[in-house]
Structure 1
């Protein structure tokens, strides 16, 4: 049964602009998952919104946001500027940690495609502020130097027949030093468009975040 929740449009000041996002906080939640979408996508991504809705139904808070302005998102170089995406994600994380409603909640990242690289770099930079990371069809190779610095438990989810990305994630898995898991979703391609594939992603992510955002630990606030 879906829990009662409130979703609100928010604006996060960073780099002389304001990032727009949608924050959903279920009653009694212990943590919030920040979404970092891939290039050419947005906070309105149907795939990320589907996963976010199921996470909220499981009692987890979510923040879906645009890390780029509309103008920035039209430029190929900007969409693949992982350092810029990382800086924006870090700023959003610190903003969330400073708000009265969310300052006592554990934080996690859900990154897709290039957004997963930004999530991994931000997790490495912020250390104990981030309690869990999930990558969906991610490009961890774009954050290679940061992988060994990630402290948060990290789940890599890849479509079984997304062959090139499977190989990248297998290599990244070996570089990660934190608690980790690599899961191949049977029969799934890069966008997890096959019947039941995205539901499996949401189920895996929900289990991972509930395990680490609800656990009592010395990590983070």
Structure 2
């Protein structure tokens, strides 16, 4: 396993992140954290550990600086988040260790909208997308309809408002897609075993499409 604390220039700030690559990684997943979260998110780190155990590299980074995150509106500035993700994807594409690896995007909450907007850009080679308790509806109709990367939407069975929003977004996606509802899970997947199920679903999705790519 190769682990490195990295810094990425986004043009407006420098993002700090942790890149971890298993030996002979099948691909690398860039995490797009949700509103009010960071690269230290215990939920995303749990998922990332499962991905690495499955032979998939991970990059978790802070999309917003602490000062930016204190301004709540920044958490919902999808264009700002997309710009930061784009810089991270470009950085991965320029590194010797990751340039040849398929790229996956894992988005949570508002980060899912940013991930899907990035995936809608034909200039960014995204192999697969996973959303956990996300707001894919915030990506907008044009972006949703332009996404070609296979996309998995995961929602908690007790998270009814978000289920409806995911169903609306799902209907607009024209790519290979799947909507999975985890029974009994609330928005943060805090119930026993539910986050493990999210991680398993994500690992299977990325592994399948990384291999196919």
- Normalized against structure 2, the TM-score is what? 0.97
Determine the C-alpha separation between the residues in 2 that align with 1:179 and 1:87.
25
Q: Deviations over 1:52-81 (max 9, x none)?
A: 001000100000011111111110111110
Determine the C-alpha separation between the residues in 2 that align with 1:129 and 1:137.
24
Contact 2:157 2:184 in 1 (8 A): yes
How many residues align? The count is 212
Match of 2:145 in 1: 148
Match of 2:194 in 1: 197
| Paired residues for 1:66-77 under 5 Å | 66-77=62-73
Determine the C-alpha separation between the residues in 2 that align with 1:128 and 1:69.
24
1:179 aligns with 2:176: yes
Determine the C-alpha separation between the residues in 2 that align with 1:178 and 1:45.
29
1:55 aligns with 2:51: yes
Contact 2:118 2:124 in 1 (8 A): no
Match of 1:12 in 2: 8
Determine the C-alpha separation between the residues in 1 that align with 2:63 and 2:124.
22
Contact 1:90 1:126 in 2 (8 A): no
Contact 2:69 2:75 in 1 (8 A): yes
2:107 alignment partner, SS class? strand
Output the aligned Cα RMSD: 0.9
Contact 2:29 2:105 in 1 (8 A): yes
* Deviating 4+ runs (over 2 angstroms): none
Match of 1:167 in 2: 164
Determine the C-alpha separation between the residues in 1 that align with 2:31 and 2:127.
14
- Normalized against structure 1, the TM-score is what? 0.94
Determine the C-alpha separation between the residues in 1 that align with 2:106 and 2:51.
11
Contact 1:58 1:206 in 2 (8 A): yes
